[in-house]
Structure 1
Amino acid sequence: MRCAFYGDDFTGATDTLATYAEAGLASALFLGVPDARRLAASGRLEVLGIAGAARALAPQAMADELAPVAAFFRTLDVPLLHYKCCSTFDSAPQVGNLAAAMAALRPAAAHPLVAILGGQPSLGRYCCFGQLFASAGAEGAVHRIDRHPTMSRHPVTPMHEADLRRHLGSQGLARIELVDWRALDDEARLDGVLDAALAQAPDAVLFDVLHERHLATLGRQLWQRAAVARLLAVGASSVAQALLAHWRASGQLAAEAPAAGIAPAEGPVFAIAGSRSPVTARQVEHAVAAYAVERVSVQRLLGARETIVEASARGLAQGRSVLVQVDPADESAASAQAVAQATAQLLAEVLQRAPAVRRVGIAGGDTSSLAARHLGVWGLEFGGRLAAGVTLVRARADAPRLDGLELMLKGGQMGPPELFLTLIDGA
C-alpha cells in the first residue's frame, strides 16, 4: 500500500479517490474505519481512503472522529498519510479546525515533517508566498481567498485571512515554516531549505504550489522523506497529484492512461442542490430543460419535507429527472447542520419511493457527507470523472437497493455550468 488518506468531507474524498484510480492504482474509499470483512471484499489495495465529516465538526468531535482513524492507520504498512482538506482551506477554530485534525493524526506518523501543500492549480487554487488564491468557478477570475466572492462569505467557515500561516495559526498551529515557490524552482537548494526549516522544530511546513511543475518536485520530497519514517501530509488532492507526478517521473508508475467515459444514466436522475454557491446556482439554471426543478425554502425542508418527497417521487415515477434546490437566497437562521441533515433524510425517503433511480447528484460538501452516511452506504468505488473536481462513484452497501447506486457528490464551487446535464447524459 502506497498511501492512506482521510477526507474531511465526502466530496473531497471522492476527488482524491478519483485521482488515484484514474492513475491505475487499486483504490477504495470507506465511510468509516473498515472491518476485516469489508477490507477483504475490497481486494488488494494500493490506496485506502476513509471519507468522513470532520470539516463540519467542532474540535472535540473531530478528535473523537479521528482517534479510531489514527489507530487504524497505525496498523497499516503504509509510508504516507494524507489528511485531505478542502482546496480553499475553509476552516475555523470552532469548526473543521485543521490544527485539531493534525493533532489527532500526528501520533500515527513518526517523521518530524508535517507537510501542508497550499494549492491545487488544476482547480484554480494557487499558493504564493503563503497567500492563497482561488478562481471563482471553472476558469473564472482568480481572487485572493479573503476577497473571493463566495469563500469570503461562506455561511459556516468564511475565509477572512489569505495568509495560510496566520489562518492556521488562529486554529492552534503556532509555528509554521514556509518553503516558497522560489525554492521549488531551484531543486539544487530545496533539500537544504527544507532541512533548515525542519531545524526550527515547527508544527508544520507550508509549501507554496503555484505551478503544475511544482507537484513532481513536492512529490519527490514527500516520498523520499516518507521512506525514512511515516509522514503526514495535509492538503487537497494536490497531495495525490504530487505523489503521482513523482512516481511517473521516476518510473514507479506508468504514464497517464486515457480517462474512462461515463455512460448515460439508466432511468431518471434525482439531484439535490444544498449548496448556496453561485456556481451551483448557475448549474441549476442550466438544468431546467432536463429536470423538473423545485426550489424549496429552508422552512419547508425542515417542517414539510413530506410534500417535497411526494412531489419528487411522483415526477421520478413518470420518468422525469428531478432536481430539488434549497433556495440559495433563503436567510433562515437554521443551522447548516440541521439543513444538511434534513436534506440527507429527504434523499433517503425519495430513494425508498423511487426504485427506478440509480443515479443521484448532490451539491454541497456537508450535505453530501451526511447524505451518504444516512443512506447506510459503507464504501465508494470510482465510477468516472464528470468534471475537474467532480467524480461519479458507485456505492457499496449491504442493502441490494443501494449497492451499486451511482452518486455524484460535489462541493458547491466545483464543476462547469452544464454539470447536471452531464450527470444525465454521461461524459
Structure 2
Amino acid sequence: MDIFFVADDFTGGVDVLLQAARYGQPATMFLSEQAFLAADRSELRACTGVATTFRSSAPTEVEDGLFRILEHAARTEPRVVQYKICSTADSSPTRGSVRPPFEQFLQRGAGRVALLVGQPGLRRYTAFAHHFANDRGTVYRLDRQPTMANHPSTPMHEADLRLHFAEQIGQDVGSITLEDMRQDETLSAAWDRETNAGRRLVVLDVVRTEDLATHGLVLTHDHPAYVIGSGGATLAVAAGLGWQEGSMHHAQAEASAGPVLVVAGSCSELTAAQIDHVADLVEWTTLTWDPEQPAAAVAAEASRLLDRGQHVLVHSSGATSAADVHRADLVDRVPRGLADIVRSALGRFARLVIAGGDTSGDVLTRLSATNLTTLAVLDRDTCLCLVHGISEDRGLEVVLKGGQIGSVDFFVRAARGEVDDADGDE
C-alpha cells in the first residue's frame, strides 16, 4: 500500500480520494473502524483510509480507536501514513486536537512528523509558519478569515501554526520556511536544525504547488513517512512516491440518471447561499425541516416529490446558528433525522448529496454504509463516489460536500455533473 490515511472527518477523507483519483490511483475509504478491521485484504487499494468523526472529538475519545486503526494498518506496511486534517487547521486542545496522532506516530517510531496544511489549489497558504485562507475571493490571515475567525466550535485566534499546534501537543513546534527551501542544502540543514532542537512536529511552508513536490521528495525518504495534514499533504507525498497524473484528472461525472436528493446539516453561510440558489428553480423543491419536530412528515413529502421526478433539497432549520451547534440534542438529532429522510426515500433518487463535514459522517454511519470508492472527478474540490452497504446493488452515487465547498450553484452542478471551478473550502 502506498498511502494509508485516517481522516478526522468524512469530507476531509473524500479530499484524499479526490487527489488519488487525479493521479489515476485506485482508492477506497472505509466509513468506520469496524468496517476497516473487518475488510478483506482484497478490498484495500493503493490509497486506503478510514473516515472518522475525530475532528469533533476530545483527545481522550480519539486515542483508543486511532490506536486500533493504526495497529491494523501497519500490517499492510504502507509507505506513507497520513492523519488527514482540514486545510484551515481548525482545531483546539479539546476538539480535533492533533495530539493523539502526533503521540501515536512517535510511539510507532517516527523520528519526525511533518505538519502540512497548505493547499494552493484551495487558496490555502503557509508562509513562515503563518497560515492564510481564502474566503469568497479574498485571502486572509487565518485568524482574520471571516469564517474561521468566527467558527462556531473551533474559532481560530492564532495564525502562527507553531503556536496553534504547540498548545495542543504541549511542546515546541518547528518550522521549515520558504527561505529554507531555496536549495537542497538549506532545506536539509533546516531539517537538521529542527531535529537537533528536539522539535518533532514541524510545520512546512507551502505557497506554490511546486512547494508540495519539494516537501514530498524529502518526506518520503522515511519508511514509513508520517504526516499530519490536508489534501495538500496527500499531493506532496504522492509526488514523492512518483505518482503520475492519470486519465481521471480530466474525467468528469455524468448527469444524474434520475432525481437528486440533497440533505443539508451545515450551518455555513456558503451552504445557506447554495440552498437559496435552488429555492426558485422549477426542477428543484426545497423543504425545511425543524429538528424540534419529527422528520416523518418531511420524509413523506420528499419521497412524494422524488417520485414525481423533482430534485429535492432538505435542510435543517434548527442548526443554522453558532448557538445551536453547541446544543447536544441537535448534534444528535439533526443527522438522525436526515438519515431517516434518506432511508425512507431509498430507491426514489439516483444521487445523494450530503452537505456538512460532520453531517456527512453521521448520516452515512446511521445508514450503515461501509465504504466509499471513487467513481469520477466531479470538480476541483469534490468527487462523485459510490457508497457501499446501504443498498444491495453496486452502490449508491453520493457527493459529500463540506460546509464551505463550492460555488453558489454547487447543488445544480452536482446534479448535472458539471465542472465547478470556484475556489472552495473543505
Contact kept, 8 Å, 1:31 with 1:52, in 2: the verdict is yes
Q: Alignment partner of 2:77: what SS?
A: coil
**Matches of 2:82 and 2:320, distance apart in 1:** 36
**TM-score, length-normalised on structure 1?**
0.91
Q: How does 1:180-191 map to 2 (within 5 A)?
A: 180-191=177-188
Q: Alignment partner of 2:118: what SS?
A: coil
Deviations 1:126-147 (A, max 9, x none): 111111110014xx10111111
Question: Residues 255 and 353 from structure 1, CA distance in 2 versus in 1: closer, same or farther, beyond 3 angstroms?
Answer: closer
**Matches of 2:107 and 2:70, distance apart in 1:** 7
The Cα of 1:414 is off from its aligned counterpart by: 1.1
Of residues 395, 401, 410, the one that matches 1:404 is 395
Of residues 235, 251, 258, the one that matches 2:229 is 235
Contact kept, 8 Å, 2:178 with 2:205, in 1: the verdict is yes
Of residues 398, 414, 417, the one that matches 1:426 is 417
**Matches of 1:141 and 1:114, distance apart in 2:** 31
**Matches of 1:202 and 1:116, distance apart in 2:** 12
Contact kept, 8 Å, 1:133 with 1:143, in 2: the verdict is yes
**Matches of 1:105 and 1:10, distance apart in 2:** 21
The Cα of 1:386 is off from its aligned counterpart by: 2.4
Q: How does 1:83-122 map to 2 (within 5 A)?
A: 83-108=83-108, 110-122=109-121
Of residues 294, 316, 336, the one that matches 1:304 is 294
Q: How does 1:243-282 map to 2 (within 5 A)?
A: 243-247=237-241, 252-257=242-247, 258-282=249-273
Contact kept, 8 Å, 1:393 with 1:407, in 2: the verdict is yes
**Matches of 1:120 and 1:338, distance apart in 2:** 35
Q: How does 1:31-180 map to 2 (within 5 A)?
A: 31-33=31-33, 34=35, 38-42=39-43, 45-108=45-108, 110-137=109-136, 140-180=137-177
Contact kept, 8 Å, 2:369 with 2:388, in 1: the verdict is yes
The Cα of 1:14 is off from its aligned counterpart by: 0.7
Question: Residues 337 and 188 from structure 1, CA distance in 2 versus in 1: closer, same or farther, beyond 3 angstroms?
Answer: farther
The Cα of 1:80 is off from its aligned counterpart by: 1.5
Q: Which residue of structure 2 aligns with residue 208 of structure 1?
A: 205
Amino acid at match of 1:112: G
Q: Which residue of structure 2 aligns with residue 318 of structure 1?
A: 308
Q: Is 2:410 aligned against 1:413?
A: no
Deviations 1:196-250 (A, max 9, x none): 21111213011111111101100101112x2xx3221011011111123334xxx
The Cα of 1:337 is off from its aligned counterpart by: 5.6
Q: Is 2:337 aligned against 1:346?
A: yes
Q: Alignment partner of 1:319: what SS?
A: coil
Of residues 384, 403, 406, the one that matches 1:392 is 384
Q: Alignment partner of 1:102: what SS?
A: helix
**Matches of 2:324 and 2:402, distance apart in 1:** 22
Contact kept, 8 Å, 1:380 with 1:393, in 2: the verdict is yes
Q: Is 2:254 aligned against 1:294?
A: no
Task: Name the count of aligned residue pairs.
Answer: 412
The Cα of 1:192 is off from its aligned counterpart by: 1.4
Question: Residues 133 and 39 from structure 1, CA distance in 2 versus in 1: closer, same or farther, beyond 3 angstroms?
Answer: same
Identify which range, 384-393 or 209-218, moves more after superposition: 384-393
Q: How does 1:363-402 map to 2 (within 5 A)?
A: 363-397=355-389, 399-400=391-392
Amino acid at match of 1:317: D
Q: Alignment partner of 1:61: what SS?
A: helix
Identify which range, 252-261 or 12-21, moves more after superposition: 252-261
Q: Alignment partner of 2:39: what SS?
A: helix
Q: Which stretches of structure 1, 4 residues or longer, exceed 6 Å deviation after superposition?
A: none
Contact kept, 8 Å, 2:24 with 2:245, in 1: the verdict is no
Contact kept, 8 Å, 1:388 with 1:415, in 2: the verdict is no
Identify which range, 10-19 or 346-355, moves more after superposition: 346-355
The Cα of 1:23 is off from its aligned counterpart by: 0.6
Amino acid at match of 2:306: L
Amino acid at match of 1:260: A
**Matches of 2:215 and 2:196, distance apart in 1:** 19
Q: Which residue of structure 1 aligns with residue 422 of structure 2?
A: none
**TM-score, length-normalised on structure 2?**
0.91
Question: Unmatched 5+ residue regions in structure 2?
Answer: 419-426
The Cα of 1:64 is off from its aligned counterpart by: 2.6
The Cα of 1:259 is off from its aligned counterpart by: 2.0
Contact kept, 8 Å, 2:32 with 2:365, in 1: the verdict is no
Over the matched positions of the two proteins, sequence identity in percent amounts to: 29
Q: Alignment partner of 2:353: what SS?
A: strand
Q: Is 2:198 aligned against 1:198?
A: no
Q: Alignment partner of 1:181: what SS?
A: coil
**Matches of 1:359 and 1:269, distance apart in 2:** 5
Q: How does 1:326-337 map to 2 (within 5 A)?
A: 326-327=316-317, 329-330=320-321, 333=324, 335=326
Deviations 1:20-47 (A, max 9, x none): 122122221112344576334526x212
Q: Which residue of structure 1 aligns with residue 349 of structure 2?
A: 357
Q: How does 1:8-19 map to 2 (within 5 A)?
A: 8-19=8-19
Question: Residues 337 and 164 from structure 1, CA distance in 2 versus in 1: closer, same or farther, beyond 3 angstroms?
Answer: farther
